[in-house]
Amino acid sequence: MNRNKFLFVLACLLLGFVSILSQIILFRELLSVFYGNELCLGILLFVWLLWVGLGSKLGNVIAVSKSSLLKNLSFWYFLLAIFSILTIIVIRYSRIVLNVLPGEIIGFVPLLIFTLIILCPLCLILGILFVLNSTVWHLDPKLEQMVTKVYLWESLGAGLGGFLGSLVLIPHLSNFSIQSWIFITLFLFSVLLIVSFSKGKKFLYLVIAILVVLAFKIGKLDIYLEGKSMSKLWRGQPVVKSVDSIYGNLIVLKNKEQISLYENGLLLFSYPDEFSSEEAVLYALAEHPEPKRLLLIGGGVGGALSQALKYKDLRIDYVELDPKIIELGKSFLPEAEVRALENDRVTIIHKDGRLFVRQKAEEGKGGYDLIVLNLPDPYNAQLNRFYTKELFGLVKKLLSRDGIFSFRATSSENYLNKEQASYISSLCRTLSSEFKSVIILPGSNNIFLASQGENLTYDWMKISESLKKKNIQATYINENFLSNRLSPERIEYLLGIIQSVKGKINYDLKPISYFYNAVLWSTQLKSFEKPVFNFLAKLDRLWYFLVGSVLSFSFLFLIFGREKFVSSLSLYVIFVAGFSSIIFEISIILIYQVFYGYVYAKIGLFLTLFMLGLFAGALYIDKRKGETGLRNLTWLQMLQLILIAFFLLLISNFFRSWLNPYFLELILGGTIFFSGFIGGAIFTCANQLYLQIKQEKKAGTGYALDLFGSAFSSILISAIFIPLLGIPSTLWLIFLLNLIIWGFLYLSSFRTKTAQL
């Protein structure tokens, strides 16, 4: 391998590696700042892909200027290095710029505007470098072949970045440390390019490179910048500990005697907060006559566990996914709380709560008198799976004959608007679909209690008497407080308004509750998306199919029969392939998450398999030079339809049988690999066909449309398609759009073949 070819491969691998790893790290930072859910994630992904796509279009212009000379390629990698570290610093200053407090939610518009500004330079450079790498190396006289080579090597680099980042770097290094190493790597590579193609001053460049690295690492400039930026992120509040685990970023704040623990910007608990900890478990304890076994899912560290231990005969299984939460609790909470975590009656289980419940239900091991779900509201899809009909059915199997299930949902004391009522009503209807007896205790948090027995009561005197009988002393759940909270007027008002709105049942594959929560969020912030959400929620799913079909048919009919129709059709195929691939990828990840646990630790594996699939698909087309015409594109489109149909058949059987998690990983991993393979092959084949017909030196056009399709679908699937249509209907919609394209490809290839005869 000659020097140019080696540097070309290294440049493309590094571009893909940095792109995917920076995306993971910066998204983690932004979600921590903006208290994000899937809507936030969809916005971030939309902005990222949009700017990279626009960068590739801008690269078409830069590629014909003097800046495209090979010796000046180092300039763009140097800029990428600068903005890789600068972007994370600016993100951490964003709360000051936007005047946002820790844990505060901001609206759709400020989030969109800010991310458009902050991610712009970095993403534009990534898109520009894709085009420059396709045009300046001159390793192949055909531009379409160079674009293919860049695409496949960049995909391989992205796969490696996703794998090493999620499984190796993130568990052991902080976000800032990873970005620091990215900066150093890119900076050294830019120097390598200068040294390789400059005739003089090579020694000077090497000395400068060594001095920069020494100042950054040995001079601990990175540590100083991390500490300074972290203090700005939390608005001057004293950060006593910052830990990055595979599940997210954990921050411990201490203000006088109050300890607060945040995970990815979400407040897990503040201590002391006796009201919240009593509310979490004591109502459920009071409703059961003689509880012996309690399953506590999440939220035990902040005081709920010590409240439950007030009942002397109770044995507790406490499920907490992240061991580092327990470690931080033992390090910073008072001795009384540490003793609760180490109590002989408490068994701590480090496992995803949903997976634990399902495994126990499948094994037939239950017998819990109480199950308390002490997690935040279903403000995202990860949390929503703890509030679905399927999960409630599994919980029912774990309860003893008169066992009680309890959880809380954010509400308001005296008035529920329509959005709050729809949200609470959805949870109530979902719970009632599995349990015979359901009651809701009103308050700033509504307490949901469910049982198959007849022992639940609204009577505050009976609840108070039950706590006294169990010798449980409570500061807030007492006669004075309960008589007001559980007054007949409040109960009647709550039940009346919930029954009037009739919220929809929440399912695993149609997570409507987190959509209601998003609408509630937009209402509280007085954002403009509220009427849009409400309008979309009223539409029947057939409207989505109709609108999608009409738009697709209309565009294809407009271009059908025109001169160079095939080139326009090729670009549309690229756009829909990008649109479909993101939806397919997110659907697979969410399905694995729903059924077999928290998926964060597996994202590296799935992302790597998808990127390796893209690499393999591009490589397959690259090896079939001269065989990438319309006919082959038609066959690839048919494979796309077969893959979607196979996946629909696969998920339809998830409800009927229990699959071994490792076997399921193999199936889903293979599916996502082939999804990437087909997507990579379609892009490469269609892009080569476009460049051959148009005969233009615009290497970034096809790549930009692929990213625009992905950007468009990323926001639609997270905010609309998944919660309103559900995963199966979303996949059917994608099947329909790809079927329409296949039909036009088939007609075009048939017409071309007839013309040749």
Per-residue pLDDT at 673: 92
pLDDT, mean over the chain: 84
Measure the CA–CA gap between 574 and 683, rounded to whole angstroms. 5
Mean pLDDT of the region 6-11: 91
Asked if residue 107 belongs to a domain, the reply is yes
- Would you list the DSSP string of 143-206? HHHHHHHHHHHHHHHHHHHHHHIIIIIHHHS-HHHHHHHHHHHHHHHHHHHHHHH-SS-HHHHH
Which tens digit of pLDDT belongs to each residue from 222-266? Answer: 777 887 787 777 776 778 888 877 777 788 888 877 888 888 777
Q: What is the DSSP secondary structure assignment for residue 140, as one 8-state letter? A: S
Measure the CA–CA gap between 701 and 688, rounded to whole angstroms. 11
Asked if residue 41 belongs to a domain, the reply is yes
Give residue 158's region: left, alpha or beta (phi > 0; psi -120 to 50): alpha
Asked if residue 60 belongs to a domain, the reply is yes
Which residue from 478, 410, 476 is spatially nearest to 442, judged by alpha carbons? 410
Measure the CA–CA gap between 343 and 301, rounded to whole angstroms. 13
Q: What is the DSSP secondary structure assignment for residue 486, as one 8-state letter? A: T
Boundary-marking domain end, from 516, 548, 568: 516
Where residue 24 sits, what CATH number does that domain have?
1.20.1250
Half-sphere exposure of residue 32: CA atoms within 13 angstroms, side-chain side: 26
Per-residue pLDDT at 654: 61
Which tens digit of pLDDT belongs to each residue from 41-77? Answer: 778 888 999 999 999 988 888 876 655 566 678 889 9
Residue 460 tokens read as: 């505050």
62-to-129, 193, 699, 706 alpha-carbon distances in Å? 10, 19, 11, 20
Asked if residue 333 belongs to a domain, the reply is yes
Mean pLDDT of the region 549-561: 78
Domain check: are 588 and 733 in the same one? yes
Which residue from 271, 256, 484, 516 is spatially nearest to 409, judged by alpha carbons? 516
Which tens digit of pLDDT belongs to each residue from 669-722? Answer: 888 899 999 999 999 998 888 887 766 667 778 888 888 998 888 888 877 888
Domain check: are 554 and 507 in the same one? no
Q: What is the share, in percent, of the chain residues with pLDDT greater than 90?
A: 29
| Residue, of 594 and 611, whose pLDDT is higher | 611
Domain check: are 165 and 289 in the same one? no
Q: What are phi and psi of 560, to 5 degrees?
A: -65, 130
Longest CA span, the chain: 93
Per-residue pLDDT at 433: 94
- Return the ∠ at Cα 211 (arms to 207 and 215), rounded to 5°: 175
- Evaluated on CA atoms 21, 25, 30, 31, the torsion sign reads positive
CA 197 to chain centre: 42
Per-residue pLDDT at 63: 75
Measure the CA–CA gap between 726 and 388, rounded to whole angstroms. 13
Mean pLDDT of the region 585-601: 73
- Would you list the DSSP string of 655-696? TT-PPPHHHHHHHHHHHHHHHHHHHHHHHHHHHHHHHHHH--
Bond into 272 cis (ω within 30): yes
Q: How many residues does the chain have?
A: 757
Total domains, the chain? 3
Maximum average pLDDT range among 10-14, 194-198, 555-559, 652-656: 10-14
Measure the CA–CA gap between 447 and 399, rounded to whole angstroms. 18
Measure the CA–CA gap between 691 and 745, rounded to whole angstroms. 17
Residues 610, 672: contact at Cβ < 8 Å? yes
| pLDDT band for position 660 (cuts 50, 70, 90) | low
Q: What is the DSSP secondary structure assignment for residue 333, as one 8-state letter? A: S
Domain check: are 710 and 751 in the same one? yes
Which tens digit of pLDDT belongs to each residue from 74-118? Answer: 889 999 999 999 999 998 888 777 777 766 667 677 778 888 999
Domain check: are 566 and 488 in the same one? no
- Give the residues across from 248 on adjacent strands: 245
Which residue from 411, 441, 433 is spatially nearest to 516, judged by alpha carbons? 411
Measure the CA–CA gap between 511 and 504, rounded to whole angstroms. 10
CA 89 to chain centre: 22
| Residue, of 69 and 664, whose pLDDT is higher | 664
Asked if residue 523 belongs to a domain, the reply is no
Domain check: are 73 and 214 in the same one? yes
Q: Which DSSP helix (H) or strand (E) runs through 263?
A: strand 258-263
Domain check: are 600 and 480 in the same one? no
End-to-end CA gap in the chain:
45
| Residue, of 125 and 565, whose pLDDT is higher | 125
| pLDDT band for position 475 (cuts 50, 70, 90) | confident
Give residue 561's region: left, alpha or beta (phi > 0; psi -120 to 50): left
Asked if residue 525 belongs to a domain, the reply is no
452-to-143, 438, 455, 457, 459 alpha-carbon distances in Å? 68, 9, 9, 13, 19
Residue 147 tokens read as: 């674009």
3 state SS of 407 = strand
Domain check: are 508 and 558 in the same one? no
Boundary-marking domain end, from 181, 205, 233: 233
| Residue, of 652 and 401, whose pLDDT is higher | 401
Mean pLDDT of the region 171-183: 87
Residue 49 tokens read as: 């892909």
Which tens digit of pLDDT belongs to each residue from 217-229? Answer: 777 777 778 877 8
- Would you list the DSSP string of 25-44? HHHHHHHHHHT--HHHHHHH
Domain check: are 7 and 109 in the same one? yes
Per-residue pLDDT at 202: 65
Residue 553 tokens read as: 């048919």
Q: Which residues contact 438 (CB under 8 A, 6 or more apart)?
A: 428, 431, 432, 448, 449, 450, 456
Q: Examine the pLDDT at 521 and tell me if it is beyond 70.
A: no
81-to-22, 185, 368, 647 alpha-carbon distances in Å? 11, 8, 55, 40
Asked if residue 269 belongs to a domain, the reply is no
Mean pLDDT of the region 519-529: 62
- Evaluated on CA atoms 19, 24, 28, 34, the torsion sign reads positive
Measure the CA–CA gap between 627 and 616, rounded to whole angstroms. 17
| Residue, of 148 and 347, whose pLDDT is higher | 347
Domain check: are 504 and 554 in the same one? no
Boundary-marking domain end, from 449, 483, 516: 516
Per-residue pLDDT at 757: 44
Asked if residue 587 belongs to a domain, the reply is yes
Domain of 228, in residue numbers: 1-233
Where residue 363 sits, what CATH number does that domain have?
3.40.50.150
Domain check: are 544 and 475 in the same one? no
Residues 506, 427: contact at Cβ < 8 Å? yes
Give residue 201's region: left, alpha or beta (phi > 0; psi -120 to 50): left
- Return the ∠ at Cα 119 (arms to 164 and 184), rounded to 5°: 45
Per-residue pLDDT at 309: 93
Per-residue pLDDT at 207: 76
Measure the CA–CA gap between 306 and 537, rounded to whole angstroms. 42
Domain check: are 544 and 512 in the same one? no
